A = this chain, B = another copy of it.
Amino acid sequence: MKTTAVIMAGGKGERFWPKSRTNYPKQFLSLTADGETMIQKTVRRLAPLVAQEDIYIVTNAAYLDLIAEQLPELPAENVIAEPCARNTAPCIGLAAAVIEKKYGEAVMFVLPSDHLIHAEEIYIDTLRKAAQAAQQGNNLVTLGITPNYPETGYGYIRYVRGSGKDGVYAVERFVEKPDLQKAQEYLADGGYLWNSGMFIWKTESILKNIRQHMPDLYEGLQPIVQAYGTADFDAVLKDNFCKLPAESIDFGIMEKAEDIYTIPGNFGWDDVGSWLALERINETDEDGNMLSGDVINVDSKNCTVCGGARMVAVLGLEDVVVVDTPDAVLVCDKNSTQDIKKVLASLRAHGREELL
């Protein structure tokens, strides 16, 4: 059976402001010393498993130029530009329908464009195993990550104890982002995994579930899919896509469907969720500082400093993040990196759209 991949690249990545902007979000940034951007990594690491012409990207129309620039090797017709953001269910449904129309039934990896994988060989082996599991019946397979601390920023997957068969576990239920106490309970319990947002299924399986659990979406997709491959596609997509129900695949399908399985992954996954991630995914100096670019440090500890075109001098700081760009600089306490959205709200309130 044909193996395809759908990379979801419509996210705004606001938590990496001021490097990420509305017109230049996180997936197009290089956050590691090798200079590769997040989406370039995502595509490149699929090479052992998926042919280039079978990799699809669903993104915002505003990012088409960035994708053409960063991924010139991908066929232009494999890039589907959403005319507006409708969350993940319409995005995935459309991709599934398009792929089925083109290939007939196929296995489909659904992958975020802005995560980091440290052990790529193990990752590919895990995806291969997931593809096998997905070919049974109408299985919907997710990759779960075994937690090692009580993270409150992720959703969790509860698997059925004793159900493991060759590393594949039946899913009991999906759980929304918990508070700290709940997260600590999940960690202690041992029966919960982080929801990585990576899914593997046959096109037939997910479309069947969409027809059953999100009939409006299923109906709404039909005229778009019929137009796919014709000269009318762009116009039909534009006329119809924004009317689709804005829903996440987790809430719309995964929390309702039968035959859900998970494979606990162990491939060095990092969602690179905030500036704090940089000290995890890059080298730090003996004082715990992650310094990149033109930076002079005197007596600072555990700081993350991303220089730009100008020299950044940090002096006597502790636990501070500094990010320099040509038109804005962010200086942020490490405990406040999740509040960057407040800065963006303030910029909006002050009419500073040029900085968003």
Q: Find residues 280-317 in chain A having any chain B CB closer than 8 Å to their own CB.
A: 296, 298-299, 310-317
- For chain A, the bracket of interface size reads 35 or more
A264 to B342, CA, bound (A): 50
Q: Is the CB of A332 within 8 A of B312?
A: no
A317's partner among B324, B327, B333, B342 (CB-CB below 8 A) is: B333
**A317 to B335 alpha-carbon distance, docked (Å):** 9
Contact B328 A315 (CB under 8 A): no
A317 lies within 8 A of B296 (CB): no
Q: A296-B347, A315-B340, A315-B343 are in contact. Are A310 and B327 (CB under 8 A)?
A: yes
Q: A296-B347, A343-B296 are in contact. Are A335 and B310 (CB under 8 A)?
A: no
* Inter-subunit contact B311/A332 (CB<8 Å): no
The verdict on A346 contacting chain B, using a C-beta distance below 8 Å, is yes
Tell me, yes or no, whether A238 is within 8 Å of chain B by CB. no
DSSP majority for the A interface? mixed
A68: CB under 8 A from chain B?
A: no
Q: Per-position contact with B for A329-354: 1 when CB-CB < 8 Å, else 0?
A: 11111011101101100110010100
Instruction: Check if B296 sits within 8 Å of A336, measured CB to CB.
Output: no
A329 touches B332 (CB 8 A): no
Tell me whether A130 is interfacial, beta carbon within 8 Å. no
Q: Does A106 contact B (CB under 8 A)?
A: no
Does A151 sit at the interface, judged by CB under 8 A? no
Instruction: Give me 8 A-to-B residue pairs in the complex whose CB atoms sit less than 8 angstroms apart, sorted by A's number.
Output: A299-B339, A310-B325, A310-B328, A313-B343, A315-B340, A316-B333, A322-B329, A324-B329
> A residues within 8 Å of B by Cβ?
18, 296, 298-299, 310-318, 320, 322, 324-333, 335-337, 339-340, 342-343, 346-347, 350, 352, 355
